Amino acid sequence: METSLLLSALLTGIFCYLGAIETPWLFGITGGFYILGRPLVAGLLVGLAFGDVTAGVLCGVAVQGVFIANLSTGGATNSEITYASYGGIGLAMATGGNPAIAVTLAILIGQTFGLIFYNSRMAAYSFWNTKAQKAAEELDYNGITFNHVIGPQITSFLLRAVPVFLAVYYGQPLVDGLLNTIPEVVTHIISVLGGVLPALGIAMLMNIVIKESSHFIFFFAGFVLMAFAGLSMIALVFIAALVAYVVYLASERRGVVTESGGTSAAVFEDDELF
Amino acid sequence: MQEKLTVKDRRQIWARWGFTHLSSMSYETLQAHAWAYAFIPFAKKFYKDDLEAQRRLMTRHSMFYNTEPQTGQLINGIVTSLEEQIALGEEVSEDMPVNIKATLMGPLAGIGDSIIQGIIVPLLLSIAMGMAVNGSAIGPLFYMISFGIVGPLISYLSFNYGYKLGVNAIDVIVGENAQRITDAFNILGIMVVGGLAASNIYLSTALTIPMGTEVQELQSVMDGIFPRLLPLLMVILSWWLIAKKRMSATKVILILTAIVTVGVLLGVF
């Protein structure tokens, strides 16, 4: 299925806008950022845009691995996942669909251009915020709607769809040229790196959930269930839920034990008199 | 004289926030203006002739606000029931909604982000990635459908729970039992992260052990003793660099790149 680069690049740009964190159209971040904004889904959509779903999904899986633990708190993030997904996978699909290239480009774009455009957009929105504030104070309902929804979304479209389209359409010959001169050793390094980088994301997740050293027992248990016992992820979740429930029950027992511990100590003292 | 909120009214407030919560996000105000936008129909209906009250309503709902947007609908539900009481003339001060928002946005951001970004999203993605082997579209489609159901469901249930319980919902979030539930959820998350580490990191060694005339792959020997050992070492190293050495993500990427490059050049990987 031959599709022109122009159309594919356009679609990639539009999907990037629809998957942005600030997009409202698909029920806010539920359908936007958390679905279309994920590399795995981006892989499917960019694959559709370029007429090769299989290669697209393969790129999506590779990039998703690196971003598996991507976090956005308070609007700040260290790697802009939506620009990374659509820019990286888009350019990779435009130049042959190599997943290792997708990973490299995604990381590069996410950490550099993605962040630049993202922070520019955040700054640009201040303009709309001031006007929305004024509209609220002046009871201008149409003003609130315009400055909260319409104005910002136009800005977002310009800062999301346009750069991604330009990157894919005009970046394609550039990346193509680079790929032809890269020695095989470098592609191998990138390939191995793509498998190792998820460790960073998962380590960041660990940093958040692991609060005391005893928690490592549970981390290792989850690891063992997958690595040694070969369970599926779904099976692991059920077992983890059981363990969590037991921990919940145990945390109640701790309160009871300290009470009865007190009374039995008193009884023991009495016995010692004999 | 004044009717209460109909289900349609409530759903409209839920949807207006549900769609546009981050539509005008900047670092200064984040989700502020989505509140005003959500309450426009409410203002028109309940304060038809009282323009000053409308102005106060819109202004108090244009202040800085930030929380997890889906579980955070709990706060939207609570505030909706409070605003309804205010509009019906009951003894609720107009400061109450503002205080509730300020008090709860932090805790709900913490709990909500841990559940959604820390557990549900990576979990569903991991399952979907397993299904997307060989480039099958079933993987992404599974994720789209499963999160497409779970996300709005959490959002809707949170809103209704907050609305029904009103101010009493706070006890559920910051009470003593809440801490035990959060801790239990945390354990679940930790085990899931352990599983993620085993299934999403790939590293194997290309080294071989010479055994007389034959050659044994080191990796298959290791797999017999401790599968996925190298990925485990990588994630523990990364965790140590981030948690104990307090390095930035970019630095860790550079270190991992260096390790991989040296390893490939030496023929280890």
The reply to whether A239 touches chain B by the CB within 8 Å rule is yes
pLDDT band for B2, please (50, 70, 90 cuts): low
Residues of B in contact with A132 (CB under 8 A): 24, 33, 36, 62
Q: Which helix (H) or strand (E) holds B100?
A: helix B95-113
Contact B187 A149 (CB under 8 A): no
Chain pair A-B, CB pairs under 8 angstroms: 359
> Taking CB atoms and an 8 Å limit, are B194 and A111 in contact across chains?
no
The answer to whether residue B266 neighbours chain A at the CB level (below 8 Å) is: no
Tell me how far apart the alpha carbons of residues A152 and A264 are, in angstroms, rounded to a whole number: 67
Q: Is A241–B260 a contact, with Cβ atoms under 8 angstroms apart?
A: no
Question: Rg (Cα) of chain B, in Å, rounded?
Answer: 26
* pLDDT digits (tens), chain A, 274 positions: 345 888 999 999 999 999 998 888 888 888 889 999 999 999 999 999 998 899 999 999 888 888 887 888 777 777 789 999 999 999 999 888 888 888 888 988 888 888 888 888 888 888 888 888 888 888 888 888 888 889 889 999 999 999 999 988 888 888 888 878 888 888 888 888 888 888 888 888 888 888 888 999 999 999 999 999 888 888 888 999 999 999 988 887 655 444 444 444 444 444 444 4
Residues of A in contact with B22 (CB under 8 A): 21-22, 24, 28-29, 33, 75
Question: How does DSSP classify residue B30?
Answer: B
What's the pLDDT tens digit per position in B98-141? Answer: 988 888 888 888 888 888 888 888 888 888 888 887 888 899 99
- Return residues 75-104 of B near A (CB < 8 Å): none
Which residue(s) pair with B211 in the sheet? B214
Boundaries of every domain in chain A: 5-209, 215-272
Mean pLDDT over B219-241 rounds to 91
Q: What is the pLDDT of residues B36-52, one digit of tens each?
A: 899 988 888 888 888 88
User: Residue B193 — very low, low, confident or very high, per pLDDT cuts 50/70/90?
Assistant: confident
Angle between helix axes B121-131 and A39-50 (nearest 10 degrees) is: 40
pTM: 0.83
CA distance B55 to chain A (A): 6
What the block records as the tokens of A256 is: 């009871």
Task: Output the CA torsion sign for A60, A65, A66, A68.
Answer: positive
Query: Tokens 């981030």 belong to which residue?
Result: B242
pLDDT digit string, tens, across residues B142-171: 999 999 999 999 999 999 988 888 877 777
How close A199 gets to chain B, by Cα (Å)?
Answer: 5
Q: Which residue has the tokens 């569903």?
A: B124
Mutate to test the interface with A, among B13, B14, B23 (most CBs of A within 10 A): B23
Instruction: Tell me the shortest Cα–Cα distance from B117 to chain A, in angstroms.
Output: 7
Alpha helices in A51-150 (DSSP H): 53-66, 81-83, 89-94, 99-109, 115-137, 141-145
Q: Which residues on chain A are in Cβ contact (under 8 Å) with B186?
A: 209, 211, 215
Determine the pLDDT at residue A3.
Answer: 56
pLDDT number for residue A1 = 38
Q: What is the model's pLDDT at position A219?
A: 95
Residues of B in contact with A153 (CB under 8 A): 23
- For residues A8 and A175, give the distance between their C-alpha atoms in angstroms, rounded to a whole number: 16
Cα dihedral across residues A85, A88, A90, A93: positive or negative: negative
Q: Which two tokens stand for residue A175?
A: 């990346």
Residue A267 is predicted with a pLDDT of: 43
State the alpha helices, DSSP H only, in chain A: 5-18, 39-50, 53-66, 81-83, 89-94, 99-109, 115-137, 141-145, 151-181, 184-196, 198-209, 215-227, 233-272
CB neighbour burial string for A57-91, b if at least 16 within 10 angstroms, e if fewer: bbbbbbbbbbbbbbbbeebebebbbbbbbbbbbbb
